[in-house]
Structure 1
Amino acid sequence: MRNIAFTFILGLLISCNSNDKRPLMGETEYQQILNASFKDATTSPLKKKDLKNFKGLDFFPVDSSFIVLSTFTKIENSPIFKMPTNTGREPFYKEYGLLNFIIKGKDFELTLYQDQDETLDEKYKDDLFLPFTDKTSGNETYGAGRYINLKTTDINPDGTFILNFNNSYNPYCAYNEKFSCPLTPRKNHLDVEIKAGVKSFKK
């Protein structure tokens, strides 16, 4: 599922060109690309009835305080495990590393994961998966958490990592139950409100 979400964003960087004269919805390029993909019936996870009335995803205002410099620590010899999903499917993942950062004066830590099927594909071998929940989950944002797509190449030579919560998005199962989505591990709950990224979808 995550491959699908990541692929449509990259694809639309190319396909959203000057041939489409309509302005794209969104405050940033990321938001515009995400909205364009949801509006396109060939890439959208929305059900037909929701796609018909789609006017754009609801985002928090972009907030630079949720773009944080984190410290990356690689987890060596991490065992492969089955990641629970909303459908009972159990894809194989491993813990790739830890991100430590500060938000609103408090220290936090999140675990980065790596889909083991993706490591077999040259196009996705550098992809990392960051699911999280926070104090907005189940209220302003999707209850099962949100995702951020990252890459191993995003890690700076000094071991730092730019983490932009404004680019967090909902899993496809937030829009359509036919999709199978990894459930956020309990250890990746942030005891703070992350008012950045995509909000809950109002059908």
Structure 2
Amino acid sequence: MKIILPILSLFLILSCNSQGKRPILGDTEYQQQLNASYKDASKSPLKKKDLKTFKGLDFFPVDATFIVTAVLVKTENAPIFKMPTTTDRKPLYKEYGIATFTLEGKDCSLTIYQSQDDLRGEKYKDYLFLPFTDDTSGNESYGGGRYMDLMISDENEDGTILLNFNNTYNPYCAYNDKYSCPLTPRKNHLDVEIKAGIKVFKKD
């Protein structure tokens, strides 16, 4: 009996701890990682009051229709320019290339950008930036558009690049107006409904 009681006590403690920790929500690894970072107070863009009630981000159902292989034509000798943002900050970018593809029977094109500020650091020098709006923007998705991160290493030798609209995220400004976020260029609007990826953030 003396041996059983300590074991039983340990079991009850472990059970309480496991029940106290909520599992990270998300249908894919990408969604789980994004939810985990937003749940982490040291990384989250959420305001304190929103973080307290945060249960997980809203996503459209994962849909393979919105994973497309685009033809990437790189922009030669692209000038460096100051990207407009939601504040007076003007980060330096240049046009990396134009991705063209067909989606829901429509010919589409999006300009991909490369941050010149990120080139200074080893960690982000391979990153590419794809902001876009679509016909869900301002309704089911954030009005300011959504972002997709790409890598130079994502390019294929045949001049194509894979765009997965299921793996998109909102600008931090969608959650907290203290942030400065690049504005989506008008030419990066898609005349289709991209019902994939992150949805608009609904505050409790």
Q: Does the TM-score normalized on the shorter chain lie above 0.5?
A: yes
**Take 1:37 and 1:126, find their aligned partners in 2: how far apart are those partners?**
21
Find the residue that maps to 2:65 and give its secondary structure.
helix
Q: Which amino acid aligns with 1:97?
A: G
**Take 2:130 and 2:25, find their aligned partners in 1: how far apart are those partners?**
25
**Take 1:43 and 1:124, find their aligned partners in 2: how far apart are those partners?**
17
Mapping 1:86-101, distance limit 5 Å: 86-101=86-101
Tell me, which stretches of 5 or more residues in structure 1 are unaligned?
A: 1-20
Mapping 1:64-103, distance limit 5 Å: 64-103=64-103
Q: What is the CA-CA distance between 1:160 and the residue it aligns to?
A: 1.0
User: What TM-score do the two structures reach when normalised by structure 2?
Assistant: 0.88
Q: What is the CA-CA distance between 1:22 and the residue it aligns to?
A: 4.7
**Post-superposition CA distance 1:83-120 (Å, at most 9, x none):** 00001211110000010111001110000001101112
The runs of at least 4 aligned residues of structure 1 exceeding 6 Å deviation read none
**Take 1:29 and 1:40, find their aligned partners in 2: how far apart are those partners?**
17
**Take 1:32 and 1:140, find their aligned partners in 2: how far apart are those partners?**
21
Partner of 1:141: 141
Find the residue that maps to 1:181 and give its secondary structure.
coil
Q: Which protein shows a greater Rg? A: 2
Q: Which amino acid aligns with 1:169?
A: Y
Partner of 2:173: 173
Partner of 1:195: 195
**Take 1:80 and 1:99, find their aligned partners in 2: how far apart are those partners?**
19
Q: Which amino acid aligns with 2:37?
A: S
**Post-superposition CA distance 1:31-73 (Å, at most 9, x none):** 0000011111111100000000001000000000000011111
**Take 1:140 and 1:32, find their aligned partners in 2: how far apart are those partners?**
21
Find the residue that maps to 2:30 and give its secondary structure.
helix
Partner of 1:153: 153
Partner of 1:29: 29
User: What TM-score do the two structures reach when normalised by structure 1?
Assistant: 0.89
Find the residue that maps to 2:183 and give its secondary structure.
coil
Tell me, which stretches of 5 or more residues in structure 2 are unaligned?
A: 1-20
Identical-residue share of aligned pairs (%): 71
Partner of 1:3: none
**Post-superposition CA distance 1:150-196 (Å, at most 9, x none):** 01100011111110000011010100001110000001000000001
Paired residues, number? 184
**Take 1:49 and 1:124, find their aligned partners in 2: how far apart are those partners?**
31
Find the residue that maps to 1:49 and give its secondary structure.
helix
**Take 1:143 and 1:122, find their aligned partners in 2: how far apart are those partners?**
32
